[in-house]
Amino acid sequence: MNEPIRLVVVDDEPYVRKKIRGFLLEERGYRIVGEADNGVAALELAKRVRPDIVIADIGMPVMNGLELLRRLRELPSPPEVLMLTCYDQFEKAQAALRYGAADYVTKLLFKAADFAESLDRVAGKAREAAALRRQAAKERLSVCAAGSPAAPAAIERLSAEMPLGAAVVAVLRASRASAAWAAAQADRPPAAGEGDAAIAFRLDRDAWAFVYYRSARGMRGALAADVAAAWDALFREAPQAFKARLLLTDELRDWREFGEAVRRAHAEADDGLFLPFNAALRLSALPSSAAPLPSPPSEERLARLPRAEAAALLRRWMRSLPGEGGAAAAAWPAARAALPRLLCAAVSAEGAPPLDRYAEASERLQSVFDASELFDAVDRLLDEWANDARRGSAEAGARSEVRQGVEYVHRHYDQDIHLHDVARRVNLSPSWFAALFRAEIGKPFNEYVQRYRLERAKRLLRESDLKVYEVAESVGIANARYFSRLFYDAYGVTPLEYKKGGGG
């Protein structure tokens, strides 16, 4: 349901204002938020209450409707204007349209239905203008959140167009399996209080910022309490498996405070592996600790051990980390940052890991939601790398023609690959190349291509926002239905189930 369109009614004749009030506009989605009997008072009122539409008489004392229209159009976020005229003011009404009025109606003998029809047309323009302003505000807030060099200019525009009484930023960090539900909330942010506005935008793949603001300065703490209550109510209705952390800033009184506040909340939401989830948490109430990270095993020691022993040593170290309070808040983010180096060391005894191993581990560990997911991700990486090492050993020992074929698959898996084309590239007959490949790699060429594509697809499903059909196309399988059947046959889950965390 849309928020009511906010109206200010301006006419020096009380009976006209009374007549408009009697049209029962609330039933049509409007709310009168103020009245004035002259243009000067109306201009000050519009600056204060920021209506969507001003309904103004053309002929008024002190400041007439045309001058009021001109002054309103100069405001940073001008309202739409519906002019009221008499029958003998047609030329003035036409001038008002040229100056930017959205429409006009004659106020003598006008009826509720006719007035509402004109008002509905103006409301459509007001909603379009509001949507454009909202999108512009979202872009400026994103610039400020990123700490871009353009942030000072964005803050200046925000301060002019959205005068701030108070603001609270809620940063939502969802688990990967809960990302779709969280994104739906960003499309329609939960309401905190009547008259409060909310703008949501994405910070990264799994985190969103919800900016709640109100223009009137009220009791300090009231907006933060309203936002916390709204989210706590929403969490109680969330799906059973839903997991997310919500970090609330203190109330901001100046847009210049916004960038630093949202970046701190984002960092705490990412790093709070032991924080409670599905509850609104205040940044100011989080535990703090400067406790040092328990010493991890050295990379040299890990590199000397067999992979299984190195992995067990890493797991013992992780289990020694503190599990609650400020010590945990400090230790687990530091451990996550150290683990990519330690993991690379743990598999180096079986051959130097590829250069992209560190980047792969960093990206995958950064996306975990809590400590249990971190343990699972470490186990999964070690297993995958061990499989890669075994496969690489077999491939490295193969004849040069077979190695060339393997390298061709790795470079061109996203394209059509045919055995006879690869055989021709390595100067062998298709039948001889097929026999050699099966003998040295341990599986038929086409099966190897299919499994390699599916392994690449698994990573894309886990680590990207691509849809299933886009993943299929990215790994060289044009038919998404066929891709889903292959994936299910190989792993026992559909691609969508795997993307949502339903398979390992």
What is the tens place of the pLDDT at every residue in 220-242? 568 888 899 999 999 988 887 78
Confidence of residue 198 (pLDDT cuts 50, 70, 90): confident
Query: Contact 63/86 with Cβ under 8 angstroms?
Result: no
258 & 314 share domain: no
Q: Rounded to an integer, what distance in angstroms lies between the CA atom of residue 42 and that of residue 28? A: 24
Give mean pLDDT, residues 77-104. 82
Of 4-8, 144-148, 309-313, least confident by mean pLDDT is 309-313
Token pair belonging to 55: 């309904």
pLDDT at 355: 47
Q: At residue 142, does pLDDT exceed 90?
A: yes
For the entire predicted model, the pTM comes to: 0.67
Confidence of residue 1 (pLDDT cuts 50, 70, 90): very low
Q: Is 449 inside any structural domain? A: yes
What are 314-365's pLDDT values in tens digits?
Answer: 888 988 887 766 667 678 888 888 888 888 888 775 554 454 577 778 877 8
According to DSSP, residue 252 is labeled: B
223 & 117 share domain: no
pLDDT at 352: 46
Specify the higher pLDDT residue, 259 or 165. 259
Q: 297 in helix, strand or coil? A: coil
Residues 6+ away with beta carbon under 8 Å from 366: 270, 336
Number of domain units in the chain: 4
According to DSSP, residue 390 is labeled: H
How far, in Å, are 202, 353, 391, 447, 504 from residue 443 at the CA level? 44, 24, 11, 7, 23
Q: Rounded to an integer, what distance in angstroms lies between the CA atom of residue 480 and that of residue 236? A: 36
25 & 104 share domain: yes
99 & 24 share domain: yes
pLDDT at 93: 76
391 & 405 share domain: no
Q: Is 339 inside any structural domain? A: yes
Q: At what angle do helices 371-396 and 357-366 cross, to 10 degrees?
A: 160
Computed over every residue of the chain, the mean pLDDT equals 85
**Type of residue numbered 60:** M
Query: Contact 150/213 with Cβ under 8 angstroms?
Result: no
274 & 310 share domain: no
According to DSSP, residue 1 is labeled: -
pLDDT at 218: 54
Query: Contact 246/178 with Cβ under 8 angstroms?
Result: no
Q: Is 142 inside any structural domain? A: no
Token pair belonging to 9: 């009614």
How far, in Å, are 11, 44, 72, 122, 480 from residue 67 at the CA level? 14, 14, 9, 20, 62
Q: Rounded to an integer, what distance in angstroms lies between the CA atom of residue 269 and that of residue 311? A: 28
Q: Rounded to an integer, what distance in angstroms lies between the CA atom of residue 193 and that of residue 434? A: 69
Query: Contact 367/205 with Cβ under 8 angstroms?
Result: yes
In sequence order, the β-bridge partners of residue 31 are 6
Q: Is 310 inside any structural domain? A: yes
Distance spanning both ends of the chain, measured CA to CA? 41
414 & 454 share domain: yes
Give mean pLDDT, residues 287-315. 80
Q: Which of 377, 395, 413 is the last residue of a domain?
A: 395
How far, in Å, are 20, 26, 109, 191, 368 from residue 106 at the CA level? 13, 22, 8, 38, 63
How far, in Å, are 217, 234, 236 from residue 182 at the CA level? 30, 11, 14
267 & 301 share domain: no
What are 401-457's pLDDT values in tens digits?
Answer: 888 888 899 889 999 999 999 999 999 999 999 999 888 888 899 999 999 999 889
Looking up residue 245, the CATH number of its domain turns out to be 3.30.70
Specify the higher pLDDT residue, 206 or 71. 71
Q: Which of 270, 285, 300 is the last residue of a domain?
A: 285
Q: Which of 348, 372, 395 is the last residue of a domain?
A: 395
Q: Is 150 inside any structural domain? A: no
Confidence of residue 89 (pLDDT cuts 50, 70, 90): low
| Domain membership of residue 430 as a residue range | 397-504
Q: Is 136 inside any structural domain? A: no
pLDDT at 392: 61
Cα 385–chain centre separation:
31
